[in-house]
């Protein structure tokens, strides 16, 4: 019964995450600036929660290094993810669903399991469809992104950023799956947010990025950042890491593939993003492969 409750809670978290792409597009600052603010506000929110609960926040030096390492991966994930959705929410979210297939390769390396042949096949088909999606003509405003801007057109950029975001998402999901065996989920999330914040701060200091205008955000940006950092980050990260005691990293990443469904629907309702019919057909095939993969995995596990 407890495990069923965790599945319901996981689905609720995924629904909340469906809003992260929407909020990322509503926030006017760059993906880099957004990540700095998000990690900082989330860390402060979790700290306030830990102090309210009078929970211990001390940890070992080894644990701190691990948390900061994973926090850096989380920061990179958000940079890539928001670079993509600022170009186009729908395309970015669909390509992001490739995370399931990344984790199918990463998880065996950390848990010493065999790579499954049908996951390789499904992954190959998914990446082929993503290549077709990269040919989608996007109506975007110039200057919305600047990472690799001189080398890629918007269609290529949104796909590459999304794939990098999916890979880093799969990586930190697997790493957290190992950390949660030893450390408290709230402690893990708190120090990972600090780690991501420190990584971004160091990068900004080295590149002289900070300025007076950097801190002059609009009221709307502060509102969306607060919702994104507190509700969609501090709360969801603590809970998602916690339930990984009962649910495998693969199942978590698989469930996250519902995020594109929610995000695309919300993007259509809020931003009126209209894609070609072929895009929705290709999206349907990707999602069918993702869930078909899950059904096959469940079938073979029962057969064993």
DSSP 27: S
Those residues whose C-beta lies under 8 Å from the C-beta of residue 57, and which sit 6 or more positions away, are 47, 50, 187, 190
User: How much is the pTM?
Assistant: 0.83
According to the model, what pLDDT value does residue 146 have? 47
Residue 16: how many other CB atoms lie within 10 Å: 18
DSSP 181: T
According to the model, what pLDDT value does residue 304 have? 54
Domain boundaries, the chain: 2-303
* pLDDT digits (tens), the chain, 304 positions: 566 677 778 878 888 988 999 999 999 999 999 999 999 999 999 999 889 888 888 899 999 999 999 999 999 999 999 988 888 887 788 777 777 778 777 888 887 777 777 777 777 777 777 767 665 555 444 554 445 555 566 677 788 888 899 999 989 988 988 898 888 888 898 999 999 999 999 999 999 999 999 999 999 999 999 999 999 988 887 787 777 777 766 666 667 667 777 888 888 888 877 666 776 777 777 777 766 766 676 666 655 5
According to the model, what pLDDT value does residue 41 have? 96
CA angle, 82 as apex, 76 and 85 as ends, to 5°? 145
Question: How far is Cα of residue 200 from the mean position of the Cα atoms in its chain?
Answer: 17
């Amino acid at each position: 019964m407890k495990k069923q409750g965790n599945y319901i809670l996981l689905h609720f978290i995924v629904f909340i995450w469906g809003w992260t792409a929407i909020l990322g597009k509503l926030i006017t600052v760059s993906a880099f600036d957004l990540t700095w603010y998000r990690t900082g506000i989330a860390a402060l929110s979790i700290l306030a929660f830990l102090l309210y609960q009078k929970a211990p926040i001390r940890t070992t030096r080894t644990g701190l290094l691990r948390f900061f390492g994973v926090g850096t991966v989380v920061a990179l994930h958000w940079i890539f993810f928001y670079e993509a959705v600022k170009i186009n929410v729908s395309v970015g979210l669909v390509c992001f669903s490739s995370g399931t297939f990344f984790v199918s390769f990463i998880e065996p390396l950390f848990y010493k399991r065999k790579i499954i042949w049908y996951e390789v096949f499904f992954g190959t088909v998914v990446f082929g469809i993503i290549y077709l999606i990269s040919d989608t003509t996007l109506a975007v405003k110039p200057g919305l992104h600047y990472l690799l801007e001189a080398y890629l057109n918007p269609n290529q950029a949104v796909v590459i950023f999304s794939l990098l975001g999916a890979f880093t998402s799969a990586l930190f999901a697997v790493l957290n799956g190992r950390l949660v065996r030893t450390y408290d989920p709230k402690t893990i999330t708190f120090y990972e947010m600090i780690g991501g914040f420190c990584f971004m701060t160091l990068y900004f200091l080295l590149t002289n990025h900070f300025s007076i205008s950097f801190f002059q955000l609009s009221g709307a940006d502060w509102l969306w950042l607060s919702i994104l950092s507190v509700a969609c980050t501090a709360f969801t990260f603590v809970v998602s890491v916690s339930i990984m005691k009962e649910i495998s990293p693969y199942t978590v990443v698989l469930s996250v593939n519902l995020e594109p469904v929610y995000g695309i629907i919300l993007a259509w309702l809020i931003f009126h993003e209209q894609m070609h019919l072929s895009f929705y057909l290709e999206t349907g095939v990707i999602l069918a492969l993702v869930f078909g993969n899950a059904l096959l995995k469940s079938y073979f596990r029962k057969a064993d």
